[in-house]
């Protein structure tokens, strides 16, 4: 059941959202330009518009659960789940979940990591929306989507606040519908 009733008269263009994204050079390693979303998050009206803009795309998709990866993905995922009247499923770093889990290692833009999800987090046939703050190389998203597919969830879309197009993360998600609100 969807509870969100967005106001179509409050649209914001991609460039307006970009005004709230700060570039931080050489973070977390030399040569990386980190797109800092904290100014967007701290502005209540802009954050609300970003959440509602993403949620509006899926308000008729009968989303049962929104899955998101810690930490910034949780901020967006939980807000979008709330807007859609859907449940929220956390995908966490290794050792952070208290019950039985599935694990998946994956490559990052500048290293490797491992994610976990509770074994009962997604029921077969659930309509699932995956949400994260950014898609860069696609490693994190691919690992999360592998969980969803393994648990026989029906992935509706992988949705991102922003996409770093030059890193070609969409290529890892070729069989997935991908939406990004902001593109660089």
Residues marked as catalytic: 72, 109
Structure-token pair, residue 9: 């008269």
Q: Which residues pair with 135 in a beta bridge?
A: 163
CA angle centred on 15, ends 9 and 18, rounded to 5°: 110
Structure-token pair, residue 168: 């070609």
Give dist(CA 62, CA 128) in Å, integer: 9
Give dist(CA 94, CA 114) in Å, integer: 6
Give dist(CA 54, CA 158) in Å, integer: 11
Give dist(CA 151, CA 120) in Å, integer: 8
Structure-token pair, residue 40: 């967007």
CA angle centred on 156, ends 14 and 135, rounded to 5°: 45
């Amino acid at each position: 059941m969807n509870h969100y009733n967005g106001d179509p008269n409050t649209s914001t263009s991609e460039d307006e959202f970009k005004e709230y994204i700060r570039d931080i050079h050489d973070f977390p390693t030399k040569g990386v330009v980190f797109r800092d979303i904290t100014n967007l998050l701290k502005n209540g009206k802009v954050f609300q518009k970003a959440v509602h803009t993403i949620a509006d795309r899926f308000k008729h998709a009968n989303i049962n659960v929104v899955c998101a990866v810690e930490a910034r993905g949780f901020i967006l995922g939980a807000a979008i789940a709330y807007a859609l009247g859907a449940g929220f499923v956390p995908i966490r770093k290794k050792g952070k979940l208290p019950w039985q889990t599935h694990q998946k290692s994956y490559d990052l833009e500048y290293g490797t990591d491992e994610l976990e999800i509770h074994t009962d987090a997604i029921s077969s046939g659930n309509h699932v929306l995956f949400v994260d703050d950014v898609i860069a190389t696609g490693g994190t998203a691919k690992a999360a989507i592998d969980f969803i597919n393994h648990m026989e969830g029906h992935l509706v879309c992988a949705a991102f606040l922003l996409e770093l197009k030059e890193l070609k993360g969409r290529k890892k998600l070729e069989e997935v519908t991908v939406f990004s609100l902001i593109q660089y």
